[in-house]
Chains A and B, each alone.
Chain A
Amino acid sequence: MIDLNHCLVLGACLFCIGLYGLLTADNTVRALMCLELLFNAVNINLLAFSSFLDTVQSRGQIFALFVITIAAAEAAIGLSIVLAVHRARGSSRLSFLTLLRW
Chain B
Amino acid sequence: MDIVFDTYRSSLFTAIELGVFFGSIGVVVAPSMIYAAFSLGITLLSIAFVYLLFNADLLAAAQVLVYIGAINVLIVFAIMLVGPAPLLPSRPLAYRLLCFGAASGLCLPLVFASTEGLWNKTKLEIPGEDEIVQIGIGLFDRFLLPFETVSLLLLVALIGAIWIARARPEMKREMPSQDKPLL
Contacts and interface: CB of A to CB of B under 8 A. Distances in A.
Given A3-B122, A5-B119, A29-B33, A75 B71 contact: yes
Mostly helix, strand, loop or mixed at chain A's interface? helix
A87 B82 CA distance: 9
B138 A52 contact: no
A33 B37 contact: yes
A82 B135 CA distance: 35
B75 to A, nearest CB: 6
A76 B157 contact: yes
A21 B28 contact: yes
A17 B28 contact: yes
A9 B114 contact: yes
Contacts of A92: 82, 85
Interface string B55-90: 110110011001100110011011101100110101
Nearest to A45: B114
Contacts of B180: none
Contacts of A66: 143, 146-147, 150
B104 to A, nearest CB: 7
A26 B125 contact: no
Given A8-B119, A10-B17, A47-B59, A59 B138 contact: yes
Given A80-B164, A86-B81, 20 more contacts: A2-B13, A4-B119, A5-B120, A12-B114, A16-B104, A20-B103, A23-B99, A24-B99, A33-B75, A36-B71, A47-B56, A47-B59, A61-B56, A68-B62, A68-B67, A76-B74, A79-B77, A87-B173, A88-B174, A89-B176
21 contacts: A9-B114, A12-B107, A17-B24, A24-B28, A24-B91, A29-B75, A33-B27, A36-B71, A47-B56, A52-B123, A57-B134, A62-B135, A66-B143, A71-B66, A73-B157, A80-B164, A86-B81, A87-B168, A88-B174, A89-B175, A98-B182
